[in-house]
Structure 1
Amino acid sequence: MNASIPAPIVETDVAVIGAGPVGLFTVFQCGMLGLSCTVIDALPDIGGQCTAVYPEKPIYDIPGFPRVEAASLIAALEQQAAPFAPLYLLGQQVVRVSGTVHTGFDLETEKGNKIKAKAIIIAAGAGAFGPNRPPLEGIESYEGTSVFYMVRRRDDFAGKRIVIAGGGDSAVDWALSLAPIAARVMVVHRRDNFRAAPESVMRMQAMADAGEIDLVVPYQLKALDGVGAHLRHVTVATMDGTEKVLEADVLLPFFGLAASLGPIADWGLAVDRHHIPVEPSTAATSVPGIYAVGDVATYPQKLKLILTGFAEVAQAAHAIYRQTHPGQDLHMEYSTTKGVPGLA
């Protein structure tokens, strides 16, 4: 038997935990200071909640963009980070961290990847998160083929009979978006009232009145039936036991994300109600050499905005430069005069 070859250790200046918008901007800010980054995220794609929850949702408070869809913002941030050649380790969590600011930090992911870093920036948004899976027997066998917890490419669902379960913005927004291209869209919700934006709910109701969407209310998911990994029927039921069988090719359960700090909670950091307290001027946590930015970071009067996270990243990057280059002066330079490596 051949012994397995251990994965090589990735050496980097900064290990970035989280590939959402703030994590991606971290690569740019660190790169402008000559610091390399390795980015780790539990989700299989970059973008965090912008990709997983609302890729087609417009955002209005990003400076310079009167309106930008979340997916477009992520694409632009990825392009902005590209000149600095970040390494992305996706679909995996960091499960172990050891070391100190003096010796450097050793990180290991659940897939066995090992990273040696001089500093860590936690940009984990609301924390490590995954979908709230409905308690349906055998649902795992359909996941990735007929059951999806996020929509990455709208066109993948063209011509499909789609059951959307949930009553929030994701359910309503995707019902509106997919109805024009799907064979049929059926929205299952346990009550008549939806928790989504009122204008969106009114649009969905108008489409239902016109026969363009089926509102299956008040029902909830009960069972799935299919052949192999391919779904054929979704059974729904009311609270009094009345059942209905819906012919379906796809189930999209939108019951939100289960967020927690995950393994980060065991790193010895000070934690306050699932958030990490930081020093606002540097984004430093209670552990020297580890920084936190974005929604996971907290301090008095913190504003949970993407643009706030962008500013925190700049503070953290400069703090890390001072940490990793002791005794060297850092002269502040603007990107307009310094330029970006590889760009004209």
Structure 2
Amino acid sequence: MTSPAGSTPSASHQRRLGGSGLAVPPISLGLWQNFGEQTALETQRGLVLHAVDAGIVHIDLANNYGPPPGAAEASFGRILARDLAGHRDELLISTKAGYRMWPGAYGEGGSRKHLLSSLDQSLDRLGLDHVDIFYSHRYDPTTPLEETIGALATAVSSGRARYVGVSSYSARRTREALAAADTAGVRLSVHQPSYSLLNRWIEEPDASGESVLDVAGDAGLGVLAFSPLAQGMLTTKYLDGIPGDSRAARGGSLPPSYLSLRNRAAIAALAEIASDRGQSLAQMAVSWCLRDSRVSGVLVGARTTDQLDENLAALEHLDFSAAELAAIDENSVDGEINLWAARSSAL
């Protein structure tokens, strides 16, 4: 393994995270999928070390990533201690709390008790005294927003997090969170929303008249988009059906209903545009998300090192012509795949 500080395509294209002083790689590794106990630790280790060697110095986690919840943090903690301990300050490590983590009382939500207790547990699993970014994973209508953001402020003031942000908040709730952060004396640095060619909700104004991207651009809030490949839909693997070893076949967060005839037709049309550009569909999907200067980076959840390398190659062709963007807009349908909307972004 080489030093993460080496000259790599990802490192050389680092972008500023909104108006903060923090730089992030345009492509980061998210451990939402493929880092549960069903995947061998050596397989996980190989993917993480390959990513770091390629300049992907940002590793994104959450308390409930697995399965079971906590497994991804525990696995990454072991990899960090074994292979990357000497590189800790060259890495950007983030985690979140807000979705269900444990059954029973105080196992989820936006309360001060849950967020800070969960952060302490995350740090224990990771073997760290702080994370670089700590997120409120979703807006919680049962908790005053001032309490949720106040807990983030405590995470910073206590030294358990260097930066804080929100994930999947609507434009309206993001504005409210920014105001609460001003009152609490903490800066929100980043929003982590879902965003892809089949899920463009952050471009659309909500009832407040603003979009998430509008708010982010105005407030200097960085945007790190997750699921830019729509959980693998924006590849060619589903054009002829659902492979038996695919995520859709396993169920869970990618139900087969998402692969409707309409969505598959859109995917096929987008694949042709990508081919004309000299890219795979996955590469164009990543490049397209990065076309907007308000998007600091994207989080990918590769299963293999080959998939990760394919995603990184997207950085070689980030420019789009007006004709290409028009063709993409014509075929980029709302796939009705924003599974997080009803639980946070639509509130």
| TM-score bin (small chain) | under 0.3
TM-score where L is the length of structure 2: 0.26
* Greater strand content: 1
Bigger radius of gyration? 1
